[in-house]
Structure 1
C-alpha cells in the first residue's frame, strides 16, 4: 500500500546461489509488514561456450582428467613431456568426455561457493582462460541487484551505456543504435541472468557438440523452471543467451541450426567473440610446424606431435579454412617479387589441399597420423581413417554454411603488428623457383615438414608479421574470417565490432571486449519475453 510503514527484512545470497530472506514472527497486533526485495521471476541464463582446448576433458572409462586447464604450471606438468603416441591415445575423440571437475575460480555475485560453480558448469571450462571472465560477467550482471537486496542499492548494469554512442570506440560495422534508458530498465527490472558455462568435447565434430550444447540448454532451462522453495516454483525460464569464444561460435551456431541442435526457439540470441567463422590458415601452419614457445610444449612442438591429435579430431580439423574462405590462400613463391608459382585452392580446399597424400605442400604427413598404432591394431589404414574424418569435416562446413542465429552480435580482433595472423599461408624459397606450377604441384618432399626441401629448393612458411604478408587479426583468427558473419550473415547479424588491442585467447580479459559483450546482452534482453 502507498505510504504503508514497513520494516526491511535482511536478505542474503544463499548457499545455492539464490537470495534468502530471514525474519521472525511478530505479535498479531503488530501491523507493520515485513518487506524484502526479490529477484525478477523471469530467468534468462547467460551460457558461455568456450573455444577449442578451452574445455576440460576426462577419460570416459576411468573418469581421470586428460586435459585440465587450471594453471600454466599444471598444463606443463600434464603435457610438457608427452610423446606423439601418448597424445594420440590420450586425446582420442571417442574416449574423451567433458570433465566438470575444473578448479573453482572464486566467488561472484550469485556463485558463493565451489558447489554452485560446479552446478553452473564453471568447472567444465578452463579456469586459466575464462575463470576471471565468468566471475566478472556474473558480477556485472548481478552484483548491483544483489547489493540492492542486501543494502538497498539499485543500479542497472547498463546504466553506464545508456544513450551513448560506442561506434568509434568499438569499431561498429553497422549503424549503431544506443542502448536507451528504457531498454536498460527493461533488462534490469524484468530479468535475472545467472551465468552458466558449457564445456564440450572439442575433439569431436562441432556438429555433435552443437547437439550436446542444445541438450545442456534444455537442462539449464528445466533446472530454473523446476527450482522449488517452500513448495513454490518462483522462477519462469524458457530461453537462454549464448556468449561464445572462438570455436565455441561454431558450436553455438550448430546448436541453433535446424540440422544439428535445432534449439533456436530456446535461445534469445548470441554474442560471438573471435569466431573463426570460415576457418583460419593458422590451423594449416600448426599441422606443418607445431606451435611455438611455451604453447608448443603443451599443444605440440612439431608437426608430428600436432598431427597425432589433429588428424583424428574432426573438431580441430573444422578450424581449417573452408570453402567460404578467400581462395588461393596457400601459395609458394620466391623472394624475387614475381607472382606466386603455386596458388591453391581454386575452389575446393578439401579435395585440392587436405585430401592430398603425397605432394610436398600437403596438410598431413601420413607417417604422423598413427604414432600410437591405434589404427594399425584395429586393422584400419591410418590414411583411410583421416580421410573419413575429413569427409565429416567437409559435411559439417557445408551443412553449417553461412547460417547465423537471429539475432546475433559479433566482435573480433583486427590488430596489426604482433597480433597479425595468417590470412594467406606462404611457402617461400630463398632461391629462384626454376620450375612451372605443374611440376611444383606434383613434386614430392625430399625431407622436412617446415622447412621442407623439394626439387633442390628449400621452402619455409613465412611469418605473418613479415612485410608484405600482414593481415590484421588477433594472432590466430585473420580479419577475413572474423568479419565473415557481418558479410555473410545477412539480417541475422545485428551488429559487428571490429576491435583492436588483444590476443585471441585473452580476448575476454580485454575491457572493450567485455563492455561490448555486456552491451550486446542488454540489447538481446529486449527480445526476451517477460514471463
Structure 2
C-alpha cells in the first residue's frame, strides 16, 4: 500500500520597498529648459549654479526667475537619466535611484536591496524559502507643498507594485504589499500619501527615520541666523539668503514647529526671550505659532523680515502676499495631519543623543542692555529701530547730536542673541519629535546619529532590518 504525506514547502517571497528622501535629498532642474539647479553629486554644477550665489541668485534658482512669486511648476526632479557618472544600471535609473542625493542615500538603498533581506542569524521568517527586497525611490520637488509630493508618491508605489509583479511573473514567488521607508521630511510626504491621499491600504507599513513629526525649531533658527552644513550652500548662510529661499517655499515652511509641537520636556512654548540672567521676558506661542510668530510683522522676534523675501525688488506687499499663500499651505497641511495621522502600522527611529545637540526651543538671550524690548508696539514711534543678522538683534534709539545738530546717530540699547542648541537629537531634529509622537511605535537609537546620515548608522540599519523582517512575517 502506498502512503501519502503532506510536506510543508515554504515559498519564495519578495517585498517591494519605496524610499522617500528628505529636504534637498532630490536632484532638481528647471522645467522650462532643464537647467540643473541642485545636483549634490556634481560639485562643478553646484559651484556654477547655487552653492556660492547670493540671496537674489539663490531665489532665482530655487523659487522663480525674475522675482516672480513661487510656482510649483518651476522646478522638477532630474532623475539622472543622462548622468553616466552615477554608474547606475538602467533598472536603478528607472526605479528613481538617479534622482537621489547619492552621497546620503545610495549606500543605504543598495544595502536595502542586497543585504537587509539576509538576517545575520541566517534565519528567515517562517514561511520564507527565500526573501528578496526590490527597492524603488521617490525623489520629489522638495520646495513644493508636501501634500503634492504625497500625491505623486502614489505613482511610485504603483510602479513598485507593478514592476515587482512583472519581474517575478511566471515564478512561484509571492509578492507582498510594499513598505515605505522615509528620511526626515520624507515622513511628511509619506503621511500625506497614506492618510490624506488614501494610500493607506496600498502599503503594509511605514518606517520613519529622523522625522520632524511636528516640525523643528531648527527651521526657525535657520531663517533668522542661516543654515548649517550642506544646507548653508543651498538655502543660505545668513538670514537674507534663507528668507529669500526657504521663506518662499511651502515645503520648507512645513518644517516649522506646528500647533502640536513640544520640546523634549513637553513644553509647547518653544520660542523664548530671556534677560541678562536668563529670566523669562517672553514665551511663545500662546496658542497659534502661525499668527503669533510666522505671520507676525510687528515684533523683532518674528520669523520673516519682509525686505528679504525678494531681493532687489520694492513690492513688499506682493512679496508678503506670496509668503502668506505659502504659509497658509503649511498651516492647512499641519492641521490636516494633526498629531494622530499616521499609517496604523508605523515604526519610527530617532536620535536621543547629546553628542548631536539640537534646538527643541529657541532662546533669544539679552547679552547687552537692561530694558525689556520684547514688545515693539510699546516703543515710541519713529525713534527706535532693530537690525538683525547672524542670529543677533541690535535695538537702537535714534538720537540728535546737540553740538552739530545731526540726525541719524544711534544709541545702542539692547542686544539679543540666539543661544546654542542644547537638547538631545540629531543636530536638526530634537528627541522630542520621537518622544511625544502619537500613533507609531517609536524608539531611540542608543548611540545616536547625525541627521543627514541617519541610515548610515549601524544601529539604525539593524533596527530597520528587524522591522522589515517583522513586516514580512506579518504578511505571511
Q: TM-score, normalised on structure 1? A: 0.75
Between the aligned partners of 1:399 and 1:371, the Cα distance in structure 2 is: 33
Shift of 1:334: 2.3
In structure 1, how many angstroms separate the alpha carbons of the residues matched to 2:230 and 2:101?
17
The secondary structure found in structure 2 opposite 1:477 is: coil
**Residue in structure 2 matched with residue 358 of structure 1 by the alignment:** 298
Q: What CA RMSD, in Å, does the superposition of the two structures yield over aligned residues?
A: 2.7
Equivalent residue number for residue 218 of structure 2: 282
Change (3 A) 1:70 1:484: farther
Q: SS of the residue aligned with 1:44? A: strand
* CA drift at 1:293: 6.1
Cα separation, 1, equivalents of 2:259 and 2:48:
39
Distance 2:230 2:180 in 1: 31
* Contact kept in structure 2, 1:360 and 1:454, CA below 8 Å: no
Q: CA deviation at 1:322?
A: 0.5
Deviation at 1:484, TM superposition (A): 3.2
Report matched runs for 1:504-515 at 5 Å: 504-515=451-462
- Retained in 1: the 8 A contact 2:37–2:46? no
Partner of 2:256: 320
Kindly provide the CA deviation profile for residues 288-343 of structure 1, in whole angstroms up to 9, marking residues without a partner as x. 111246652343111111111112211000000001112221111123142x1011
Shift of 1:81: 2.2
TM score, norm. by length of structure 2: 0.84
* Deviation at residue 41 of structure 1 after TM alignment: 6.0
Residue among 391, 395, 402 paired with 2:332: 395
2:204 is equivalent to residue 268 of structure 1: yes
Indicate yes or no: 2:191 matched with 1:253. Answer: yes
Identify the residue that residue 282 of structure 2 maps to in structure 1.
342
Judged with a 3 Å threshold, the aligned counterparts in structure 2 of structure 1 residues 460 and 311 are, in CA distance, closer, same or farther, namely same
Matches within 5 A, 1:77-116: 77-92=48-63, 93-101=72-80, 113-116=88-91
Q: Give the drift of 1:106.
A: 7.1
> Residues 495 and 344 from structure 1, CA distance in 2 versus in 1: closer, same or farther, beyond 3 angstroms?
closer
On the 8 A contact 1:425/1:462 being kept in 2, the answer is yes
Q: Residue 42 of structure 1 contacts residue 190 of structure 1 at CA under 8 Å; is this kept in 2?
A: yes
Question: What is the CA-CA distance between 1:71 and the residue it aligns to?
Answer: 5.0
Whether 1:126 and 2:101 are equivalent positions in the alignment is: yes
| Higher strand proportion | 2
* Structure 2 equivalent of residue 192 of structure 1: 132
Aligned length: 432
What is residue 55 of structure 1 aligned with on the other side?
26
The within-5 A match list for 1:87-486 is: 87-92=58-63, 93-101=72-80, 113-141=88-116, 157-160=118-121, 184-186=125-127, 188-189=128-129, 191-227=131-167, 232=170, 237=175, 239-257=177-195, 260-292=196-228, 295-326=231-262, 327-338=268-279, 340-371=280-311, 373=313, 381-402=318-339, 403-417=341-355, 419-435=356-372, 438=375, 445-449=385-389, 450-454=391-395, 456-464=413-421, 470-485=422-437
2:476 is the alignment partner of 1:519: no
Query: Per the alignment, in what secondary structure is the counterpart of residue 387 of structure 2?
Result: coil
Offset, 1:508: 1.0
- SS of 1:472's partner is strand
What is the deviation of 1:437?
5.4
1:83 deviates by 2.3
Deviation of 1:51 (Å): 0.7
Query: Any idea what the Cα deviations from partners look like across 1:404-423, whole Å, max 9, x if unmatched?
Result: 11211111111114x11011
**CA positional deviation for 1:137:** 1.7
How many Å separate the matches in 2 of 1:442 and 1:226? 69
415, 439, 448: which is aligned to 1:501? 448
The alpha carbon displacement at 1:353 in A equals 0.4
Aligned-pair distance for 1:158? 2.0
Cα deviation, residue 482, structure 1? 3.0
Give the Cα separation in 1 of the matches to 2:102 and 2:471. Answer: 27
In terms of mean alpha carbon deviation, does 295-304 or 240-249 score higher? 295-304
Q: Which runs of 5+ in 2 are unaligned?
A: 1-9, 64-71, 263-267, 397-412
Could you tell me whether the CA contact under 8 Å between 2:150 and 2:192 is conserved in 1? yes
Deviations 1:421-477 (A, max 9, x none): 01110111113542375568879752123311125201111111xxxxx21000000
CA contact (8 A) 1:335 1:429 kept: yes
| CA deviation string 1:122-151 (max 9, x = no partner) | 011101111111122212145xxxxxxxxx
1:228–1:479 Cα change, 3 Å: closer
> Are the aligned partners of 2:137 and 2:156 in contact in 1 as well (CA < 8 Å)?
no
* Cross-structure match for 1:528: 475
In 2, Cα distance between equivalents of 1:245 and 1:255: 15
1:235, distance to aligned residue in structure 2 (A): 6.1
Structure 1 equivalent of residue 409 of structure 2: none
Change (3 A) 1:308 1:337: closer
Q: Deviations over 1:188-242 (max 9, x none)?
A: 436531111111111111111111111221122122334487xx58766462111
Q: 2:4: which partner in 1?
A: none
Structure 1 unmatched runs, 5+: 1-38, 108-112, 143-156, 163-180, 465-469
SS in 1 for 2:364: strand
Change (3 A) 1:274 1:63: same
Give the Cα separation in 2 of the matches to 1:521 and 1:274. Answer: 17
CA distance in 2, matches of 1:63, 1:437: 47
Residue 495 of structure 1, CA deviation:
4.6
